[in-house]
Amino acid sequence: SLDVPLPVLGADVLVPLASGGQIDYAALDCAASAPAARAVWDEVAAFAPHYAGVHRGAGQLSLRATELFERSRAEVAAFLGCRPGDQVVFTRSTTDSLNLLAGALPEGTRVFAFASEHHALLLPWRRHPLTCLPVPRSAAEAVRAVDEALAARPAGTPALLCVTGASNVTGELWPVRELVAVARRHGARVVLDAAQLAPHRAVDLGELDVDWVAFSGHKLYAPFGSGVLAGRGDWLSEAEPYLAGGGATRVVTRGSDGRLAVEWARDEARHEAGSPNVIGALAVAAACRALAAVGFEAIEAHERRLLGVVREGLASVPGVRELSLFGSGADRVAVVSFTVAGREAADAARELSERYGIGVRAGMFCAQPLVRELLDAEADAGCEGPEAAVRVSFGAGTPLAHAERLVLAVRELAA
């Protein structure tokens, strides 16, 4: 009955309405966490009876689990278009991936990031000098700012440019190719935060020419607690292990002087100490397979249709304003943030939940410098000066009816 390219769990969950009665829950907060894809959940359920730890046990189930775990790594690598020498490290989340990378930067690496980034891409670089570039208001401005900042750094210093694939606030796509080209010209490396891009568009490391990519399983129709850092292995295999412990070592010995000598693994195991999240890794690989099977063309077509309904619908409601960095014509994924004149964002979000069974998010979305700047711009334009925004976001499993319900609901709230 639900005409979606990627069936997800939760489509039949009923929630009570303030007016009495029940309604099917409209999960319009996929940018925070997407519902699990049915195909992913089925694979996890099929694996559960064979559940066993990896890389340690000698039993048959353990060997089989190890094989599946490593096959998952290879599948994620293929999904991401990894190159020879790239590694796929299983992490807990995008945040975890970026913190891992931060610990692997050579001493003295300068980091460059826009103030508009999600805090997960803005904050992990505390041990390194960070140049925080102003929030750009056009793609050209972003490229120019990076060009100037990289040119101004001391000659020969290693540099890392942080780039977002798609904004978690406005959904807008960033000029990744152009930014990478500038970085390359200046000999800088690039990490792509694909937390919001990977669920909506193909991400190919080779094609984009980025050094690393990070994303989260729970935004990619897989369970929580699983994420990926993929990319160049050189800095990773030289770095201090992210966690120290079993599984990350090749040889541990006690010398005659009483000291421990450790030879760390040089592949992904170096940063995956402890018993890994086998279910999470299998689920992420299953999600990659499910998305590849549906195809990003079909996903994009579906999401564009819903995005059109939501954006055109909201634009026709007096007092509703969509937040945008690069202008309303900029290409974007299925994320829309807006304010409603005279309405607190938190109140609007609560009413959407209680009166209409729609789950959204209100706040600053862990991107405070960006949201503050966009809201201040509204206040300058003579509006009330809201303190927060409402965000709706959807995906390959969102039915059209939920997008339509949202527009009707906001129209009633704004009246």
Chain contacts with ligand PMP (rule: CB under 6 A):
93-95, 118, 120-121, 164, 168, 193, 195-196, 216, 366
Q: Given the complex with ligand PMP, which of 164 and 339 has the nearer CB atom?
A: 164
Smallest distance from ligand PMP to CB 224, Å: 8
The length of the chain, given as a count of residues: 415
Smallest distance from ligand PMP to CB 201, Å: 13
- Are the C-beta atoms of 232 and 85 separated by less than 8 Å? yes
Residue 102 is inside which H or E element, if any?
helix 94-104
Smallest distance from ligand PMP to CB 143, Å: 20
Smallest distance from ligand PMP to CB 227, Å: 6
Half-sphere exposure of 166 (CA within 13 A, CB side): 24
Q: Given the complex with ligand PMP, which of 120 and 413 has the nearer CB atom?
A: 120
Residue 14 is inside which H or E element, if any?
strand 14-16
Q: Given the complex with ligand PMP, which of 72 and 94 has the nearer CB atom?
A: 94
Q: Given the complex with ligand PMP, which of 44 and 366 has the nearer CB atom?
A: 366
Report the distance separating Cα 123 and Cα 193, nearest Å: 13
Nearest of 204, 179, 158 to residue 116 by alpha carbon: 179
Report the distance separating Cα 54 and Cα 60, nearest Å: 11
Angle at which helices 296-315 and 400-414 cross, to 10°: 20
Print burial letters for 333-353: b (CB count within 10 Å at least 16), e (below 16): bbbbbbbbeebebeebbebbb
Smallest distance from ligand PMP to CB 115, Å: 14
Report the distance separating Cα 271 and Cα 286, nearest Å: 22
The verdict on whether 366 is a catalytic residue reads yes
Smallest distance from ligand PMP to CB 36, Å: 15
Q: Given the complex with ligand PMP, which of 65 and 166 has the nearer CB atom?
A: 166
Contacts 24+ apart (CB under 8 A), 201-205: 201/165, 201/166, 201/173, 201/296, 201/300, 201/333, 202/296, 203/80, 203/81, 203/165, 204/80, 204/81, 205/80, 205/81, 205/82, 205/83, 205/86, 205/230, 205/231
Q: Given the complex with ligand PMP, which of 194 and 278 has the nearer CB atom?
A: 194
Q: Which entry of 82, 162, 366, 383 is annotated as an active-site residue?
A: 366
Residues that are catalytic:
366
